[in-house]
Amino acid sequence: MRMRHFLIYGAATMVLSGCGNFSSPDIALGQHQIDPKTGLVIRDLDAAQIMRGEAVYATNCVGCHGPNGEATPDWRKPNPDGKYPPPPLNSSAHAWHHSTDVLKKTILKGTPPEIGSMPAWEGILTEQQVDDVIAWIKSLWSDEIYDIWYKNFEDK
């Protein structure tokens, strides 16, 4: 008899403790919120940081990656020297396939010389400038791409 009461009490506690969480618009994923209408992560990128990043990008990156991060259409095809051209940074390429740490390392250290021609920006850009550029790059991504990226890299 005691065991049955214990099981009933335990089941009731589990059911009641879960009430109210099924349709809340504030369902959290890590530090981000999920849009209840789309099911996608809601970005909480800092607008001031994005603006700073856009300025740094315009000064240092636009010549290779294009004004909107679109770069070149044949970015997957090596140049005659065997190096790959700069990839797009928007939703159309692979920047979103990398974690923030990998993006930062690539900006700071450049690409391996046998693969590409991206220079190292370490010692030229501050860490804050690099973080700002990465925020601007993330702002270029579609909501769907940002959601995929976040769930694969930042929600770990």
Going by pLDDT thresholds of 50, 70 and 90, the confidence category of residue 48 is: very high
Q: According to the model, what pLDDT value does residue 31 have?
A: 61
What's the CATH code, domain 44-154? 1.10.760.10
Segment 45-70 mean pLDDT: 96
Lookup: tokens for 146: 């940002």
Phi, psi of 70 (to 5 degrees): -85, -20
Strand ranges, E, within the chain: 28-29, 32-34, 41-42
Lookup: tokens for 51: 């603006």
What's the whole-number average pLDDT of the chain?
82
